[in-house]
Amino acid sequence: MTFAALANPTRRAILERLAAGEVSVSELSEPFSMSQPAVSRHLKVLERAGLISSGSDAQRRPRKLEARPLAEATAWLEAYRKYWEASFVLLDGLLGELKGVTKKRNRSATNLR
């Protein structure tokens, strides 16, 4: 659910705004060219994913960022980053070997002429 919520650029922008602190729905709606109900739908997706929570402050219901799901997603991605880095190191070694073999073949072909 975290990655599905993060797939949308509007939701990522909302999270970026919430990183600065709690904000009401109307304040979150201001920079977007969409209605407040449309922003509310994005907020529901973020809430279901556990990325934000809503509070109660008199008549306001400010939203705030919940970092735990982002930390979990980052940890998951980090494991794959390490895997791909190791794979690229192996690939670099293989390509280096292939270049060496190609250079030897080219020298041998030149010497035969």
Structure tokens at 32: 């977007």
* Whole-angstrom distance, CA of residue 92 vs CA of residue 88: 6
Could you tell me if 52 and 11 are in contact, meaning their C-beta atoms sit under 8 angstroms apart? no
* Whole-angstrom distance, CA of residue 104 vs CA of residue 20: 59
**41-50, 86-95, 98-107, range with greatest mean pLDDT:** 41-50
- Residue 79 pLDDT exceeds 70: yes
Give percent of the chain above pLDDT 70: 92
Tell me the pLDDT of the chain averaged across its residues. Answer: 87
* Whole-angstrom distance, CA of residue 15 vs CA of residue 9: 10
- Residue 26 pLDDT exceeds 90: no
Mean predicted confidence (pLDDT) in 50-58: 83
What are the domain boundaries of the chain? 2-66, 67-113
* Whole-angstrom distance, CA of residue 3 vs CA of residue 17: 18
For the domain covering 2-66, report its CATH number: 1.10.10.10
> What pLDDT is recorded for position 27?
87
